[in-house]
Amino acid sequence: MTTHTTAHTTTHTARPVPAGVCQELRTADDAGRPMTVVRDAEGGSPLRCCLRHSTPGELIALVSYAPLRRWAAETGADPGAYDEQGPVFIHADACPGPAGDALPFTNDRRVLRRYSAGGRILGGRLVAGPDAFAPALTEAFADPEVAVVHVRAVEYGCFLYEVRRG
């Protein structure tokens, strides 16, 4: 996990795909498929297990992941039709997780999708660049109905990580 505190003393915690979940995904992903390992020749793939970009030559896997379903199972929410699964990159083997406390992957345009404690979408916001990122999270969590925020890539809509309060 990486934690970021804004100037307004609001704490946001970026959560990677948990190590135990990554281990499950290495056996069978959330679509029931076995993992396929590739050597990332160029690097730059956003790894959801440690919230950094891959380096050239690393062994990684692209697996199907259902972030809201996993969160709902943990919290007792029912996401209903909002449950979805999509592709995420993880290390092919266990990794140490995130290093540092900066919010990752904030240099590009991102969508911050807000969810209620019941698992329903409350809205979303397009943000561009690191200067807009933290204020957008502060704004999202200013709404007491927001329980979790998903950070997603704009180009493909892929889930990058979730952010929770504190």
Q: Where are the domains of the chain?
A: 2-165
pLDDT, one tens digit per residue, over 70-111 is 999 999 999 999 999 999 999 999 998 998 777 899 888 999
pLDDT for residue 3 is more than 80: no
Residue 1 pLDDT > 70, yes or no?
A: no
> 47-51, 65-69, 94-98 — which is least confidently predicted?
94-98
Task: Return the pLDDT at 99.
Answer: 86
5 pLDDT band, cuts 50/70/90, is: very low
DSSP string, 61-125: EEEEE-HHHHHHHHHT---GGG---EEEEEESS------SSSPSS-SSEEEEEEEETTS-EEEEE
pLDDT-based confidence at 6, cuts 50/70/90?
very low
Pairing, β 58-65 against β 37-40: antiparallel
Average pLDDT over residues 128-152: 93
- Mean pLDDT of the residues in the chain: 91
pLDDT tens-digit map of 17-40: 999 999 999 999 999 999 999 999
Q: What is the pLDDT of residue 9?
A: 47
